[in-house]
Structure 1
């Protein structure tokens, strides 16, 4: 099971982590974005009543059931034997799990983490007979709710080639406080209100599930992200692209979407990485069958990409901005708060790591990479992740830098908190350290 904890003696690796579940189902994205919305007075009142209920230590089954019933009322969906089910009214006529609850009388009872047990319950439900057509047509998204006494945690789960489980909230203390604490009551109400709305979205997902075969040569739907378009009202030669956030004290956001923006749809062909957490895909646009690379990022060095693109040292940047959806009212809205989409031209070529795996780089290749670093550093920018796998060479010997996730303004952008311990980094590189031009230069010297 991906995204879950590993056993003693095992290590977290690219084979045990996965892409965010919100990439595969919009209901999870809606839940996360809704956590900042104000709940209705009715939800706040019901939340207050629930908080009073959980102050009682649950020693009997009926006390725990009372909490489940209260939660069911708040999210406005019935719960039967710890599962909120939905039976499809059109083919394939299968029953699906919208929410799976896992209850413990108190934290630690039973010797098992309730979030882990909820994960196993999800796996058991979807691997049981009677769900094959839904498994073939979707990633089988379900919300998981773990309850342990006065503690609650919301998780999201999907089934790609493996079950993937992601914690969408921390454990929330549901009990009351001896002090006046409206903010905590409101925070819990926001979570429950958002969950209720997201469950409605999830039900609509299953009610309108497309069970037809995907287009030939494209990814199965269980492996494809749910985002299959971007909006742009500008020609792709226009260089006034939005700027994505980069790590640092100042965050720049993309332009506001215009209602006249045109939707460009695409289908996914395959992931461009062999590891399960890969969020970069080869795709084909429906309108003109042009191949593009689609990647999902939390940050991106748009300025660095633009600069090298102009000099012929990076692929054409087609789109960089918010992941958008057009509502029933025709207006565009952001689907994600902290996730962005980058679309670039697909480069026919091979990485330096593959092309020159057992040989030194030709002088003309090194000179092109050196020129790229000179251009970036001259503009006050850094690349940050300079290595052979991030540099491609075309059949004509033209160098293309393809990964600008860490790039940005020198002195501002930082390395991620989690960086590989397996790579030999430049001197001074460590988790969350400032990225410096000298780091790029040292990594370049190893080419």
Structure 2
């Protein structure tokens, strides 16, 4: 960011919002000057002293040239369109230093801030409009009839409701744990949550009373309402709305939202009735969302949240919890298995599981309830961001984060495939064009060749320590806005910071090879790692630099020329010599580009990476007709350098002309 010490007054303009667009303010149509951009308080003081009132301070994607005034508002609209940045995605300046670069005065007068009336800004509710438009495309239907399996399946073909059925192999939805983090905490609580002593007596009561036989569904309902009320501390009762009656919802003193934030679907026995309990709960939830969004008298901060909710299936003597959020439309996901309550009295493990389940459910309910309280402080979500994961800022790892373009390149280390082909001893792989690359014992020679190439990778610093270090350092979190989802089956997203810097944001579960990624960056083999954060429930977020568009994955090449293949092999050897293994060097994770006649290579996806013999493959790693793996089944096996070599050379052999 350019220095702002010499700037005493920052140009700004007043504006109004009409039809979700900025327009000129009739009383203040020309440029004004606030105070210093060094702090929000300094900038706003002269405005508050002169104009009073309540204003929202909007920052455009980039400073906008003031003159000529006659075309200013047309250019404002044009900048939004060109930068794919609708008004709602403009950042609000509400504290700290002005985040964008201040341009030299000789370049002209630029508008850095637009001041809009507070009422204008908060009157807009594009999120509700978006949701109603999406929901209205599916006609209202009686949940009890619509949940009949054949009828529900037919409707899913015409207008699917996002409930995880049927599966789509070309699209994986974003996990609900990333859309509302307390859901991730609940799932973790199911296996490792605390055993709360006060729940134990109630758990035994649940087992005894809910394992009974009930002649009518309403009798089971009454018992379950009482037991669930005892756990959650709020009365549970049937809810009536729009001609529908649910099996149970929460009674709140401050608002009535019918099936939100809790809905129960109850069956006397698993096989009772013609409708499926899961389908019926999903349809009741949909109709509850439709009803409350159409009722403008039901106001609150919850309208601009993802509207988290709990769906409880009590199917005979079993209980299961589903999580629900409302993005553009409802999304429902299974959170727990269906727990039987009629297990043997001596089955201590089953009782422990039930107590953890009940404790986690109570904590989840209390967390969700805060979203709907009158004085809720839930942060509003923008309509364009509601479909993306919840995290919207990152804490930089450290101040010396490097771009992969500023570190060493393959030429910096004297490892060349041509030289090593002659000096290294071991088996070799030949391609159809006659090029040869050494394998096997050559790894020792490669290691010797890079002995004088010093990379400080630390002493196997753990993800947890790295994350903790970041959070304790006095650095300001950097907000970002999601732009798109890059891959429909991976949790990889394109985003922009407030300074319009493009970044890549990735999410995953379990292990991430932070040390391996950082070492690869320092060796010029990977995009810069800007941040690593541990999230709720074992999830993590990684923020990386956005590579130049010249880079493409090898999966997009039918044939790779010899020089490109050589650079890829050199890069793999260089990474291996650092003592790390990657585990997933398939074509889509190897990026290349040709710049000024020279090929460059970068590796991505360090999810499984780490020290050899210290990291293992996760679940679901196996060889298929369309995806090569070194072994047929690899779940839980140690990741080795030999596996990386085999994967790379198989990929290159497939792309040799």
After TM superposition, the score normalised by the length of structure 2 is: 0.56
| 3-state DSSP of counterpart to 2:537 | coil
Higher RCO, 1 vs 2 (CA within 8 Å, ≥6 residues apart): 1
The offset of 1:75, in angstroms, is 1.5
CA distance in 2, matches of 1:382, 1:305: 10
| 3-state DSSP of counterpart to 2:200 | helix
Aligned with 1:370 (options 569, 586, 604): 569
**203-212 or 288-297: bigger deviation:** 203-212
CA distance in 1, matches of 2:506, 2:295: 30
Matched, 1:121 2:284: yes
Aligned with 1:37 (options 180, 187, 193): 193
Question: Judging changes above 3 Å, is the alpha-carbon distance between structure 1 residues 352 and 233 closer, same or farther for their aligned structure 2 residues?
Answer: closer
Match of 1:23 in 2: 178
**314-323 or 94-103: bigger deviation:** 94-103
Report the number of matched residues.
Answer: 413
Question: Judging changes above 3 Å, is the alpha-carbon distance between structure 1 residues 349 and 136 closer, same or farther for their aligned structure 2 residues?
Answer: farther
The offset of 1:106, in angstroms, is 1.4
The offset of 1:97, in angstroms, is 0.7
Which structure 2 residues correspond to residues 351-370 of structure 1 after superposition, within 5 A?
351-353=551-553, 357=556, 360-370=559-569
User: RMSD of the TM alignment (CA)?
Assistant: 3.5
The offset of 1:21, in angstroms, is 0.2
CA distance in 1, matches of 2:220, 2:258: 29
Higher helix share: 2
Query: Is the 8 Å Cα contact of residues 225 and 237 (structure 2) preserved in structure 1?
Result: no
Match of 2:609 in 1: 407
Unpaired runs of 5+ in structure 1?
246-251, 324-335
Match of 1:75 in 2: 232
Question: Judging changes above 3 Å, is the alpha-carbon distance between structure 1 residues 415 and 380 closer, same or farther for their aligned structure 2 residues?
Answer: farther
Query: Is the 8 Å Cα contact of residues 319 and 342 (structure 1) preserved in structure 2?
Result: yes
Match of 2:537 in 1: 337
Deviations along 1:325-352, whole A, 9 cap, x unmatched? Answer: xxxxxxxxxxx23211211112122553
Matched, 1:315 2:515: no
Query: Is the 8 Å Cα contact of residues 621 and 633 (structure 2) preserved in structure 1?
Result: no
Aligned with 1:417 (options 605, 608, 620): 620
Unpaired runs of 5+ in structure 2?
1-160, 239-247, 403-455
Match of 2:272 in 1: 109
Query: Is the 8 Å Cα contact of residues 426 and 442 (structure 1) preserved in structure 2?
Result: no
Match of 1:141 in 2: 308
CA distance in 2, matches of 1:390, 1:232: 24
Matched, 1:389 2:588: yes
Query: Is the 8 Å Cα contact of residues 311 and 321 (structure 2) preserved in structure 1?
Result: yes
Match of 2:508 in 1: 297
Deviations along 1:235-294, whole A, 9 cap, x unmatched? Answer: 24397789798xxxxxx754572563345132232233252x5422223334x5533222
Match of 2:260 in 1: 97
CA distance in 2, matches of 1:87, 1:244: 50
Query: Is the 8 Å Cα contact of residues 484 and 494 (structure 2) preserved in structure 1?
Result: yes
Question: Judging changes above 3 Å, is the alpha-carbon distance between structure 1 residues 4 and 256 closer, same or farther for their aligned structure 2 residues?
Answer: closer
**230-239 or 105-114: bigger deviation:** 230-239
Query: Is the 8 Å Cα contact of residues 592 and 602 (structure 2) preserved in structure 1?
Result: yes
* Higher Rg of the two aligned structures: 2
CA distance in 1, matches of 2:542, 2:496: 14
CA distance in 2, matches of 1:410, 1:79: 54
The offset of 1:433, in angstroms, is 6.8
Matched, 1:222 2:386: yes
Aligned with 2:651 (options 433, 436, 443): 443
Query: Is the 8 Å Cα contact of residues 552 and 593 (structure 2) preserved in structure 1?
Result: no
Query: Is the 8 Å Cα contact of residues 99 and 142 (structure 1) preserved in structure 2?
Result: yes
Query: Is the 8 Å Cα contact of residues 350 and 392 (structure 1) preserved in structure 2?
Result: no
Matched, 1:346 2:502: no
| 3-state DSSP of counterpart to 2:369 | helix
The offset of 1:194, in angstroms, is 1.8
